[in-house]
Structures are given as C-alpha cells and as structure tokens.
Structure 1
Amino acid sequence: MTFETLASDFYDFESALSDQEKEAVAKLRAWLESEVRPIIGDYWERAEFPKQIVKPLADLGVLSYAWDETKPFENSALFRGFLAVELARVDASVGTFVGVQNGLATGSISICGSKEQREEWIPKLAAGEVIGAFGLTEPLSGSDSAQGLRTTAKRDGDSWVLNGQKRWIGNATFSDITIIWAKDVEDGQVKGFIVPTSTPGYEATKIEGKISLRAVQNADITLTDVVVPESLRLQNANSFKDTAKVLRATRADVAWAAVGTAIGAYEAAVKYSQERIQFGKPIASHQLIQDLLVKSLGNITASIAMVKRVSEMQEAGTLRDEHAALAKAFCTSRMRETVAWCREALGGNGIVLDYQAARYFADAEALYSYEGTREMNTLIVGRAITGKAAFV
C-alpha cells in the first residue's frame, strides 16, 4: 500500500517511521476513511458506539502493537503515537475506546500484573475477545485520586471484597472486565483488581446527556460487596505509585490523541475553505481564513514535535511523570485553541455535524479534562521545576 504523508504533517515527522510501520499506518488510515468516517457522525449523534469496528481494529493490530505477548512486529513508541493520531483525526471517541482498551485496561495488566495474568488477559484484550475498562475516577474523587479514593478493598481469606462507586468509566456499559482501583482497608494503600463485570454486586449505568465524546460509553459503577479472588488482584499494584505508572504512559497517548483531534478539525476547515464560495471566490483565498489555518497548523506542528520527543524518551526509558504531564497539558491546550479556530473558519456551518468540525470542537473538551486536567498536570510540572508541591 502506498504511504502518503498527511498534508497536516507539515514537517514530515512520519518519515521517521520504518517502512513496515508506514505500511501499518497506511492500512489503518484507509480502513478508517472507508469504514468509520462515513458512519461515525450518526453514532456520535445517537450517543452509541459502533461495536462492529472492534474486531477489524483488532485484526489491524491496533490493540496488539504495544505488548510483547501480542505485537506482530517490533515497533516504536513513535509509530504507536501516529496510530493514535489516525484514530483521533477520524473520531476521538473511537480513539478513546482504543485508549481505554489498549492503554488503560491492558496497560494496567501489563505494568502491574503478574506473568500469569499478562499471559491470560493480554492476548484476549488484543484480539478484542474481551473488552476492558479502567475504574479509577469516583463521584467525589477525580484529581485527588492519590489521596481521596473512597472505594475500599477488604481481604477475606483467599478473596477481596470491594465496595464503592466509580464515575466516568469509558467502555464500562459493555466491558467484560473493569480494572478497579480500591484502597486496602488494612494498610491504606491503593491496589488494583481485574473485576469481571458479571460478578454479583457489580452494576454499571450509562451516563446520559454528554456534549463531548458522545459515542464513548461512559458509566457510573456501583460496587456492592463484590467478591474478587486473590488471583485477580494485580500482583504488582501495591500503592498509587504503581497506578501512576499506568497514567504516565497513557497521558502521553492522550497528547497524541489531542494532535489527531486538532488535525481532524484542521483538515475539515481546509476542505471547507476550498469549497465554500463567498464574495465570488473560495474563502480559502481570504487573508483572515488563511491566518486561522496557519495558526492551527503551527499548533499542530509544535505539538507533534513535543510528542515525538516524548515517544523517544519512552523508548529510552527516561520518561518521567512531569514529561508526560507537560505534553498532556500543552497539546490539549493547543488542540482546544485549534479546534475553536477551525470551527470559526466554517462560520455557522461549524456547529452542525455535516461538516465534521463541530464534532472535533465538542470532543476536544473531554480530552482537555480527562487523564488529568491541565491544572493538575501543570502542578506536576511545577513541582518538578521548583521543587515545591502546590497541590493544596
């Protein structure tokens, strides 16, 4: 398959990919354009997820590449970043589904699970045979999850009993397992559990009325005396520091997804500007429209440069929390700015789904807030550069 660099990749960052990686990106790009873009607006409007795309995504390797147990060929963090871009530039909800399935759920097991747990669950998640969710955020605990987690885990012989509530849990209305993070009542430390959603006492209720990522199936979860065997406790998750290892990696993924969302809006605006006639000529020939497009491209280019370096640090094993936090804060802020400019370029047509910019504009709000708000990520970076914590 011929690989063509996106016009929005103005400095040709994708040229750093290997030939095999370029071929995989091209296959995903072609499939998303032919199978997802034509249908996703309708699913977004109906607040439903197109579950029929899970198997093809798995077949394309999208859920497999990051894990030693399942990756079809050696690949780079940069390559996996560009996969996240491709998903989000077509639809951020689809990108978020993959981020939860492949990053948060599978990542929790990969980073915090035992060898036996990794061998059992990662292949099933990578094949799309098992759908995963990640249960950390709670109704009264979001940014303060490190200290404020209220869901409890109590040891009872060879099992654990979980009680509590979770909120904003993506994929949770149809997941087969949810990674539940709970505070051990004995030692006060946060621990992780692989919880089959068929377990008695586990209940997930879809959150309605969202204005962003409408195709993502977020849920409120209630855990009432949910009994989980010790074999399903993540064996290497013994404190919130271990939870943070998962978040460090996935925050970088969100930064890449923010780039993809900005690119999706930018490409919609460029296309519209070339087709929309006002004052007898395409609006692309007007200086003010070109200014909006150039500012948008500048944001995109700067963001790609940052996340490219983050991916290189991931490969080298030198990525720290503050590095991922700065990327997430910066790229989502630039994304938010960019989608607003691109929506503006469409005028009134920028608020209807027909021209796609409206979807990116709305979805950017969720990416801006989840996986750590800009403010919380700023405090992580601020602590690193000053040596002073300012969280409270």
Structure 2
Amino acid sequence: MSELYPDCDPYGIADRLTEAERAPILRLRTVLESEIKPLVAEYWEKGEFPYQIAPSLHGLNLMTPEEIDGEPRSLYHGFRIFELARTDASMATFYTAQAGLFRTSCRVGASPEQFAELDPKITSFETTGVFCLTEPDHGSDIAGGLATTAERQGDEWVINGAKRWIGGAFTADYLAVFARDVADGQVKAFLVDREAPGVTLEKIYGKTALRMMQNADITLENVRVPEAQRLQNCNSFKDVAAMLRVMRSDVAWIATGIQAGAYEAALRYVRSREQFGKSLGSFQLVQEKLARMLGNVTASLSMVSDLAEKQDRGKYRDEDSALAKMWISLHMRETVALAREVVGGNGITLATDVARFHADAEAVYSYEGTHEINALVVGRSITGKSAFA
C-alpha cells in the first residue's frame, strides 16, 4: 500500500510521486478535509456551490506549486485531480474547469504571445475562464454540427449561437467560445467577456448529478469580440481535437478519483456496521464486492498513471486518452454501484457519501465524450477505418 493512499492504492502507484509533488497534494488534502468535505452533502442537496471555499482552494497555488521547479509533471497534475475527485466530483470539475479546460484551451489555442500574457493570470486565478464547446443541439456530433457562428467585421468578430452544460460560467471572467467562421467554415476560438452585451446565462436546474456544479445555458446574440481576443492558433476542429485529447485524460483521473472515494466510503461503512451480530465486513459477499472495487481502482490508477508518463514523454494520441476515458468511466459505473450495494439502504443517503459518488458518476460517464464516441476513436485507431457517421 502507498503511504499517500493506504486504503485504495495497494500497488503503491502514488509512490511514483516525488516528495516535492506530494507536498502540495497533502496541503490540498488538509483544505479538503477541514473546509470543504464538511459542506459537500449540504450543498449537494441544495444544488448550490459553496463559493466561500474558492479563496482557500485558489490560494494553494496547485498549478505552479512552489515546491516544484518548473512546470509540474502530468503525474502530479493527475493526482491533484484524483485527490479532488475522491472528495467530491463537483469540486474536481470546478477546479479543472480553470486548471484543465480553460488553461488547455489557451495553451493549445493561443499564440505564444497570448499565452505568455494569459497563463500567469490563469494559474493565479486573477483571470478565470471556462470552455464553451457543447451546444443545445450538438454534443457528440459537435465536430461537424457546431452551429455557433463568427463573422469578421473589420477588427471585430460578431458571434451568434448558444452553448449548453457550461460549468463554472457564472463566475468566469471569460468564456472560451468555439464558433464556425462564416467565411471559411472552420472552427475558431474566442475569449468572450462574460458580461459583454448580447451574452445571456441561465442556470440549468433539475440535475440529478454534479448538483453542486453550476451549469449554464449560454446565448450569444450579436456579441462583438475584438480580433485580439481570438485565440490565434485555433483555426480548425483539428486544433480543438488537440485540446480534447488532453482534457479527456483529466476526466479519466476524475473517474478514477470518484471510484476511490466511493470505495473508501463503502469501506468505512462496512468496518463500522454490524448485521446478524457480526461485522458487515466479515461477510464473504461483501468482501468479494470490496475486492472487485479495489481491483477497478487499482487498474484505473495504473492506466492513468502510465498515460501521464507517456504524455510527459511528449506522446499525445487521441486514442490513448479516449481509451482511458472510455474504460475507466465504464468501470467507474460498476465501482459506484458495488459501493451502493454494500452500504445497503443507507447507500442512498448523503450521510454515507456513497450516494453522492453514485449519482455524480453518471455525469462524468458522459462528459468529454460519451462511451460510444470514445470507443469509435479507439476503433478508428485499431482498424484504420472511421466508423463515424
């Protein structure tokens, strides 16, 4: 077992982290356990986000921690996400909206000059932003179906369209909006001021997963954006795909963290619960389910950690991140269901934490590419044939 995760990392995969990399993760854990975890059940039930915790989370400087010299390794970034997700999926989604989605869209899509100006403000949270790709009528078919348009008029662009499921939009400074250039039909990216004339945000109600995360429907009506706020290196959907191959690996880490959180919550419960005069953890069927859950967590951790080390060697392939997101999300569903089973009737209450992980897993299963879309990305690589319609 690893020292960092003694209950859910039997092969010691986290031991690949250096002491310098473990230090900020342990600081994060302290904040999560003392300030954030006590709030999540209450705010999950209310369908609200505890924004009062944002300063503590931002102040940890997790993107560029002082202990690490230079840009942290992908493995550190992954375990940072894992630590967040094993506490709460909405917390991981909230943080990675900035540290993953927005920062990646700027890293890949901005010119070197733009990124040099933006990145220090992104890492310090001086400037915040969100990734706006999905639309009301286009999710899995967004590559060919993206309907939001951008028309250049002099030194400005006029954007019209709508975006959906945009998490974190209500507190973002900028919306990284992807729109199709009416002149050449190519997809381009724009940093749209959230308060610009013509931008309307509406909260999506009635969710049964990621209830704390505030998702928005966004309408853009004749929104004017200066050419200087166009991300200069995003000029086709191929550039968007380059962003997605990085983001999908982040979601695979979230799915792994959710499994760890659900498993640890179930383990706490069966260790403390008695039935028929015996510890619940002493029953054979319960132990079999716990073993399957731990196997899923271990296999998922192995996959994302190997993927992170591959990415650090400069090897980024669509099929690699798609395979991780597809396989881990599928097994996440099994893990959270088994956790729900071993906790019994109490597994549907927020008090045990299991119900929250069980519900939130459904959102993670679908976002950043459904199971089927990611399977087709992998299948295209395997066969050399595209099966996309």
Which residue is equivalent to 2:356? Answer: 359
In structure 2, relative to structure 1, the CA distance for the partners of 1:54 and 1:130 (3 Å cut) is: farther
* Residue from 157, 173, 188 that aligns with 1:176: 173
Could you tell me how far apart the structure 1 residues matched to 2:216 and 2:388 are? 28
In structure 2, relative to structure 1, the CA distance for the partners of 1:71 and 1:12 (3 Å cut) is: closer
Which residue is equivalent to 2:24? Answer: 24
Could you tell me how far apart the structure 2 residues matched to 1:79 and 1:40 are? 25
- Give the TM-score normalised by the residue count of structure 2: 0.97
Which residue is equivalent to 2:371? Answer: 374
AA of the residue aligned to 1:32: L
SS in 2 for 1:62: coil
- How is 1:68-217 mapped onto 2 (pairs within 5 angstroms)? 73-217=70-214
Which residue is equivalent to 1:248? Answer: 245
C-alpha displacement of 1:26: 1.4
Alignment deviations for residues 10-40 of structure 1 (CA, whole Å, 9 cap, x no partner): 1100111111011121111122111111111
AA of the residue aligned to 1:47: G
- How is 1:40-59 mapped onto 2 (pairs within 5 angstroms)? 40-59=40-59
Does structure 1 residue 276 correspond to structure 2 residue 273? yes
The percent of aligned pairs where both chains have the same amino acid is 51
Which runs of 5 or more residues in structure 2 are unaligned?
none
Are the equivalent residues in 2 in contact too, given 1:57–1:63 (CA < 8 A)? no
Are the equivalent residues in 2 in contact too, given 1:335–1:364 (CA < 8 A)? yes
SS in 2 for 1:300: helix
Are the equivalent residues in 1 in contact too, given 2:24–2:62 (CA < 8 A)? no
SS in 1 for 2:220: strand
AA of the residue aligned to 1:19: E
Which residue is equivalent to 2:260? Answer: 263
Alignment deviations for residues 240-283 of structure 1 (CA, whole Å, 9 cap, x no partner): 11111111101001001101000000000000001111101110
C-alpha displacement of 1:317: 1.1
Which residue is equivalent to 1:229? Answer: 226
Which residue is equivalent to 1:390? Answer: 387
* Residue from 299, 321, 329 that aligns with 2:296: 299
Are the equivalent residues in 1 in contact too, given 2:94–2:213 (CA < 8 A)? yes
Are the equivalent residues in 2 in contact too, given 1:55–1:127 (CA < 8 A)? no
SS in 2 for 1:79: helix
Alignment deviations for residues 179-200 of structure 1 (CA, whole Å, 9 cap, x no partner): 0000000000000001110110
AA of the residue aligned to 2:212: A
Alignment deviations for residues 31-63 of structure 1 (CA, whole Å, 9 cap, x no partner): 211111111111111111121222222221224
Could you tell me how far apart the structure 1 residues matched to 2:191 and 2:72 are? 28
Which runs of 5 or more residues in structure 1 are unaligned?
none
SS in 2 for 1:37: helix
AA of the residue aligned to 2:31: W
Could you tell me how far apart the structure 2 residues matched to 1:246 and 1:87 are? 22
AA of the residue aligned to 1:49: F
AA of the residue aligned to 2:317: R
In structure 2, relative to structure 1, the CA distance for the partners of 1:131 and 1:6 (3 Å cut) is: farther
SS in 2 for 1:26: helix
CA RMSD of aligned residues (A): 1.5
Alignment deviations for residues 209-250 of structure 1 (CA, whole Å, 9 cap, x no partner): 000001111000000000000000000000011111111101
SS in 2 for 1:346: helix
SS in 1 for 2:369: coil
Could you tell me how far apart the structure 1 residues matched to 2:15 and 2:183 are? 52
Does structure 1 residue 317 correspond to structure 2 residue 311? no
Could you tell me how far apart the structure 2 residues matched to 1:42 and 1:282 are? 29
- Give the TM-score normalised by the residue count of structure 1: 0.96
AA of the residue aligned to 1:59: G
In structure 2, relative to structure 1, the CA distance for the partners of 1:353 and 1:362 (3 Å cut) is: same
Could you tell me how far apart the structure 1 residues matched to 2:335 and 2:165 are? 25
Does structure 1 residue 340 correspond to structure 2 residue 337? yes
AA of the residue aligned to 1:18: T
Bigger shift: residues 169-178 or 219-228: 169-178
SS in 1 for 2:157: strand
Could you tell me how far apart the structure 2 residues matched to 1:260 and 1:380 are? 24
Could you tell me how far apart the structure 1 residues matched to 2:262 and 2:213 are? 19
In structure 2, relative to structure 1, the CA distance for the partners of 1:179 and 1:6 (3 Å cut) is: farther
Could you tell me how far apart the structure 2 residues matched to 1:130 and 1:45 are? 30
AA of the residue aligned to 2:51: K
- How is 1:10-21 mapped onto 2 (pairs within 5 angstroms)? 10-21=10-21
C-alpha displacement of 1:299: 0.5
Could you tell me how far apart the structure 2 residues matched to 1:8 and 1:349 are? 22
SS in 1 for 2:171: coil
**Aligned residue pairs, count:** 387
Which residue is equivalent to 1:62? Answer: 62
SS in 2 for 1:173: helix
Could you tell me how far apart the structure 2 residues matched to 1:72 and 1:58 are? 19
Alignment deviations for residues 135-165 of structure 1 (CA, whole Å, 9 cap, x no partner): 1000111011111000000000000000000
C-alpha displacement of 1:7: 1.8
C-alpha displacement of 1:128: 2.1
C-alpha displacement of 1:201: 0.2
